[in-house]
Amino acid sequence: MRLIAFVPLLALLALVVVSVVLLTREGERDRFTEGMVGQPAPTYALARLGGGEMVTSDDRRGRAYVINLFASWCTPCRAEHPQLMALRRQGVDIVGVAYKDRPEASAAFLEELGNPFTDVALDPDGRFGLEVGVTGVPETVVVGADGAIRAAYRGPLTEEAVRDVILPALR
């Protein structure tokens, strides 16, 4: 009879163990990211923040560039912002994609922190994010001059990520 008292505790412990295992399975995400590299980047025509002509993949045909998915509500996006500003100062062409964000919130975010993007596109329903395999923001994709994905980086950019992943993929 006393053992029955421990059943809820054992069930909770089992749930915690399963949760930890599932949350720390980096290999699944890494395999997905690696699977994108070498594949053709999706074609797109997205509404431009502030209006005007659409932001399209055709605009950059034959040139290497970076796509960064961000959102004003994303705390890690604030953390990576200085790295994006540094890339821009180096002349890197960066397309910002406001992922599942309100246009006015995205505009305020960029007004506050500075705008590192050559163009800012809107992805209010997350469809473009699905096409590039986004699992959450921020995420950064390097598209080569040949139109193929050369690198995909999940999470906030760091100096090391820019040096070891982004810049080599742009060359």
Q: Looking at the domain 37-170, which fold is it?
A: Glutaredoxin (3.40.30)
Average pLDDT, the chain: 87
DSSP 40: B
- State mean pLDDT over 120-140: 93
Q: Which residue has the higher pLDDT, 43 or 17?
A: 43
Confidence bin at 152 (pLDDT 50/70/90) = very high
Whether residue 29 has pLDDT greater than 70:
no
* pLDDT score, position 18: 55
Q: What percent of the chain has pLDDT over 90?
A: 73
What does the domain layout of the chain look like in residue ranges? Answer: 37-170
Q: How sure is the predictor about 37, in pLDDT bands with cuts at 50, 70 and 90?
A: confident
Residue 153 reports pLDDT greater than 70? yes
- HEC readout, 59-110: HHCCCCEEEEEECCCCHHHHHHHHHHHHHHHCCCCEEEEEECCCHHHHHHHH
